[in-house]
Amino acid sequence: MSVFYRAVICTLCPCRCANRKEYQPVETFFFISPRYTEHVFASLPQMERGVAKILGGDPKGNNFLYTNGKSVIIRNIDNPAIADIYTEHPHQVTVAKYCPSGFYIASGDISGKIRIWDTTQKEHLLKYEYQPFGGKIKDIAWTEDSKRVAVVGEGREKFGAVFLWDSGSSVGEIVGHSKIINTVDIKQTRPYRLVTGGDDSSCAFFEGPPFKFKFTMSDHSRFVNCVRFSPDGTRIVSAGADGLIYIYDGKTGEKIGTLGGEKAHDGGIYAVSWSPDSSKLISASGDKTVKLWDVGSGTAVTTFNMGADVLDQQLGCLWQKDHLLSVSLSGYINYLDKNNPDRPLRIVKGHSKSVQSLTVHKSDGRNYIYSGSHDGHINILSSPSSCLVITLNPIRAHYWDAETGENDEFLGKGHSNSVVKMAVNDSNQLVTCAMDDTVRYVDVTKKEYSASDLLKMDVQPKCVSVSSGGLALAVCIGQVVLMKDKRKVFTLDNLGYEPEAGALHPGGGTAAVGGADGKVRLYSIQGNTLKDDEKILEAKGPVTDMAYSNDGAFLAVSDEKKVVTVFTVADGYAVKNDFYGHHAKVMCLAWSPDNEHFASGGMDMMVYVWTVSDADKRIKIPDSHRLHHVSGLAWLDEHTLVTTSHDASVKQWTLKI
């Protein structure tokens, strides 16, 4: 991506002019050079209880993919830290599948749109877009020559379609079901066959092309969640909510038998995936197990016990070369170990819900990224190697090393609702506030929540800031709370304005509070109290965020009027510069360790890196998160910026400043 510098040119004269009140500035951008590189910490799959999650496999065996919100996430199967995100769907994406050539991916969304797009270029250019029916698409299948596509789902007038990939022309009719079709697959050898399974507890068998309905297989007693042909085309398996897996002949559709006798699993089965040699398959079930089957004997060779919690239900699986993957209701992606079925080789963790807050901390020579999400999860990633990830959820927490698979567990119970702000103090404590009306302190060296380190607020907190001497400031609805050494020591209420953001001076002597009225009020910290200094700073609009520079020399204030104002502390908080550039309100700020630059993120999905001494010198990162606004910013070092968004991803940017 290209980056430009801005020059502000007056509309009334050819010269530069700093008087923005008198003249309307016009932005002209001059090309400089690419100034940053991007690394993505991708989101997990978005999961729903009782709904199968399809993991798509790259036919070359290098990548796998899944969906979250409006995104399709492509991850390297050997190193899942390497990821790419496709974000061009206007609606929530439900399924994505590689074509057998590997050059294109077809993805479908809840509106019934199918987009077929390129996999070989970073831009993922759209090849074709179709709407085979109106309603949620639940599964996609390709013929082995990558020329025909079958889609099924929750159509209003029909539940499936099969068409030519380059023209959209129909090559058959998907009929034979009276309810929603959940799953479809096409035999990858000639003669082609197609099979579907649906909520009417039946499977339908088709011959073609053009594909014509032949007969119904009505062996299941409950929903059919998954049907799959073996790679060699000799067998079909169907898996259902009744816990049964049936085997059929791939050419004729004749029933051969079942796996596991009367029942394959004690719970509903959501997914199956064949081994490359067509001799074995794995199945994922709501009974919290994945089973490895020898199809010839019909017996389970290995049972992978994934846990005892409801979030350990298994809703998807994929057999990709030597990798056996499953996905839990929690969204965790498990790399299964045939030699040790009770301990996965690797568990890929992260966020599956929108990320609301972010901070960083250096410990033992390593930088750690802390990110908090809408569901109360807090993730910790180490950088720059990006291999260690620690995941805190409302029940328990883990850390894992993506290279070695080493695991450990955080203890205790965390936040139960959205984590809106966080910071690390000088005592190595992560201080977080959330919509569960609490402020929590977590010792990052002990990796353990403690019930005694929880402060209950009178009202919902919006922001938390920390300073030296054990001080912390919580800005709540209609209140400002000063805390010291994990205790509430002073509360300001009946303020006469609505506080929106707060910041403590690094030296601990001053608290700045920004309000919805566009004013910043300064308070002196005197012992355990806050004293109004009766000094008011003017922002351009309602305050959205604020932060002191690390050396305490400057205070940056962002507002809803798309402006960031920087005040010089030593000059009595005189205005140093106003920074214009965002096209929507600014949401968050973060100071670089060099105290000469700071970053701002906005509702316009843009990130700017500003130079304090020159408001016209900046780096612009457009569409840093293409689907949602930037919700958090933090610096790892003078050249590395981290951003978060409601797309549930964390991105790391290496800047050339």
pLDDT at 77: 96
Residue 451: the pLDDT is 81
* pTM of the model as a whole: 0.85
| Cα Rg, the chain, nearest whole Å | 28
Q: What is the three-class DSSP state of 570?
A: helix
Burial classification of residue 397, based on how many CB atoms lie within 10 Å of its CB (0-12 exposed, 13-18 middle, 19 or more buried): buried
| Residue range 274-298, pLDDT digits in tens | 999 999 999 999 999 999 999 999 9
Give per-residue burial for 528-558: e unless 16+ CB within 10 Å, then b.
eebeeeeeebebbbbbbbbbbbeebbbbbbb
E strand residue ranges, 444-594: 454-456, 461-466, 471-476, 479-484, 487-492, 499-504, 510-515, 519-526, 529-538, 543-548, 554-559, 563-568, 574-580, 586-591
**Alpha-carbon torsion, ordered 433, 435, 438, 442, to 10 deg:** -40
Name residue 547's amino acid.
A
Mean pLDDT by runs of 10 across the 657 residues of the chain is 34 36 35 63 92 97 96 94 92 98 98 96 95 97 98 95 97 97 98 98 97 98 98 98 98 97 96 98 98 97 97 97 96 96 91 83 79 62 44 34 35 79 92 93 81 92 96 98 96 96 96 98 96 96 98 98 98 98 96 97 96 95 88 93 88 88
Inter-residue contact 536 to 518 (CB < 8 Å):
no
- Residues 268/247, Cβ–Cβ less than 8 Å: no
Tell me the CATH architecture of domain 417-645.
Answer: 7 Propeller (2.130)
Neighbours of 129 (CB within 10 A): 13
The residues spanned by each domain of the chain are 4-35, 101-113+133-346, 417-645
The predicted pLDDT at position 414 comes to: 78
**pLDDT at position 402, please?**
28
447: Cβ contacts below 8 Å, ≥ 6 apart: 390, 397, 399, 408, 410, 411
Q: Residue 99 has what pLDDT?
A: 98
Residue reference for tokens 């316009």: 604
Q: Which residues of 427-459 are buried (b: 16+ CB within 10 A; e: fewer)?
A: bebbbbbbbbbbbbbbebeebebeeebbbebee
Tokens standing for residue 286? 């709501």
Q: For position 11, what pLDDT does the model report?
A: 33
Q: What is the pLDDT of residue 380?
A: 56
Mean pLDDT over all residues of the chain? 88
Whether 101-113+133-346 and 417-645 share one fold: the answer is yes
CATH 2.130.10.10 fits domain 101-113+133-346 = yes
